[in-house]
Structure 1
Amino acid sequence: MTEAVEATRRTPGTPCWASLMVHSLGNTEEFYTDLFGWEYEPGPEQLGKYVRAMLDGQEVAGIGEMPPDRHLPVAWTTYIATDDADATAESIRSCGGTVAVGPLDAGIAGRVAICSDPLGAVFGLWQADTHLGTGMQGAPGTPVWHELVTQDTSTVGKFYEHVFGHEALAHPTASADFDYLTLLLQGRPVAAVHGVGRSLPHDRGPHWMTYFEVEDTDAAAAKVVRLGGRVVQPPREGLSGRLATVADPEGAVFTLVRSRR
């Protein structure tokens, strides 16, 4: 899983960045520093109060603070790489998706937009300029996989195929009870779509899930709780390794994974 994402991360159609908007930037910074060892540098001025999370001098994610009058859901957003944000935004609209913000310039970071697919899952577009996205992948504390959790894969899988050129391939163990597609580019897996039917969380609806690598899933999940977060789904064995779905103190949900290597 990790190796495939590393090899194609900046190719158009691949998840290339994960970003989080919160109400209290300082408290959130402390949580992720304690959990992942992140340090921070200022982000593009056009994005307001925004920092870039760093590990060993390399960028791994972004965190911003919402204006006091904004009361949006706190959630990690997966950004998908594109060579032309404006053209991709038009394709999203024509295929039944929505472009909520942008495309707009973000200084040296390039051009970005916030969109949603036909079933409502929010994701970002990123047309990189001099800033190339996540600088390191595969190490503990870095995003290593992105998975769309939605009602079913049939309609939404075709959307991502048309907009980003993905090949949507049913997982070898897919069945009537396990609805799962892998999204490939040039034969390499870059993301996945998991249809969960009526098991979709009512408080979140369809959403992209960010997976962060950890050295020990069980220990990391326990640490999340000690730091004021909570465990949404306890540690378990999954397709990619040992997983735990957790939430930070503001409620942003993400998955911890100890990948199989």
Structure 2
Amino acid sequence: MTEQALRRSPGTPCWVSLMVHGLTTTQEFYSSLFGWEYVPGPGQLGPYVRARLDGKEVAGIGQLPPDRHLPTAWTPYLATDDADTTAELIRSCGGTVAVGPLDADHAGRMAICSDPVGAVFGIWQASAHVGSRLTGVPGTPVWNELVTQETSTVAKFYQSVFGHELEALVSADFDYVTLHLEGRPVCAVHGVGRALPHDRGAHWMTYFEVADPDGAARQVVDLGGHVIQPPREGASGRLATVADPEGAVFTIIRTER
């Protein structure tokens, strides 16, 4: 696949990254769980590695400075053709730009932002690094979903900033909006009301493909993580919500094809 074909339309999740306190132990956890191997860089991000499967980059893991006591969380990056313009738009639509925009070596230009409900996400203007180069196979990110109290206001924020088309699931007891670009779903917003964890607030959830969600959930525990929601059947496949040893929450799924 060519670089141009890999380059995502603005507003499409193109990368996921995790900032942790123990980089080495976290690398070992995901290497055992997903079979990842690692290459270093870019250097501007401090100690940082890119995870690979079959030689193709799928995700990033970086080390937090010792004085930064931030919660560890997987963060999706949405593609943009102009990080500076998108950052301004995020501010004008009620979001916050916490870091950047700044250059990451020759890889691209990025910023870390949060939406009006406080969920953290990144934006990525690709240069040498277009984002994840492999998807749909075990160990790769396959979906990103914003978990929040209710969908209406925050879905409109992403629509205003990135031009997403909104498709709401009409249901009395299920508040769910899929964000589309060019007629295809790219991510979603899930309103869970009072079920939103008090200690986390609104947050983006990354889904990783696995061949066996039940076995992977057991392996997470064996590797020092824990299971938050045990394996269950969902609309798009069998899935479980888990956390790594530092508490970063993610979902493992065997997608029905």
Please classify the TM superposition score into its range, dividing by the shorter chain length.
over 0.9
The Cα shift of 1:176 comes to 2.5
Runs of 4+ in 1 over 6 A off after TM superposition: none
Match of 1:203 in 2: 199
Structure 1: state its 5+ residue gaps: 1-6
Q: Percent identity?
A: 75
Q: Which residue of 221, 226, 232 corresponds with 2:228?
A: 232
The Cα shift of 1:177 comes to 1.0
Any conservation in 1 of the 2:7–2:130 contact (CA below 8 Å)?
Answer: no
TM-score of the superposition, structure 2-length normalised?
A: 0.97
Match of 1:218 in 2: 214
Q: What is the correspondence of 1:171-186 to structure 2 with a 5 Å cutoff? A: 171=169, 174-186=170-182
Q: Name the SS for the 2:106 alignment partner.
A: helix
Q: Which amino acid aligns with 1:188?
A: R
Match of 2:73 in 1: 75
Any conservation in 2 of the 1:9–1:190 contact (CA below 8 Å)?
Answer: no
Structure 2: state its 5+ residue gaps: none
Q: What is the correspondence of 1:96-111 to structure 2 with a 5 Å cutoff? A: 96-111=94-109
Match of 1:4 in 2: none
Q: Name the SS for the 2:246 alignment partner.
A: coil
Q: Name the SS for the 1:19 alignment partner.
A: strand
Q: How many residues align?
A: 253
Any conservation in 1 of the 2:10–2:80 contact (CA below 8 Å)?
Answer: yes
Any conservation in 2 of the 1:8–1:14 contact (CA below 8 Å)?
Answer: no
Match of 2:32 in 1: 34
2:249 is the alignment partner of 1:253: yes
Q: Name the SS for the 1:108 alignment partner.
A: coil
The Cα shift of 1:11 comes to 1.2
TM-score of the superposition, structure 1-length normalised?
A: 0.95
Q: Name the SS for the 1:69 alignment partner.
A: coil
- CA distance in 1 between counterparts of 2:79 and 2:236 reads 23
The Cα shift of 1:125 comes to 0.4
| Change in CA separation of 1:156 and 1:93 when aligned onto 2, cut-off 3 Å | same
Q: Which residue of 42, 51, 63 corresponds with 1:53?
A: 51
The Cα shift of 1:8 comes to 8.1
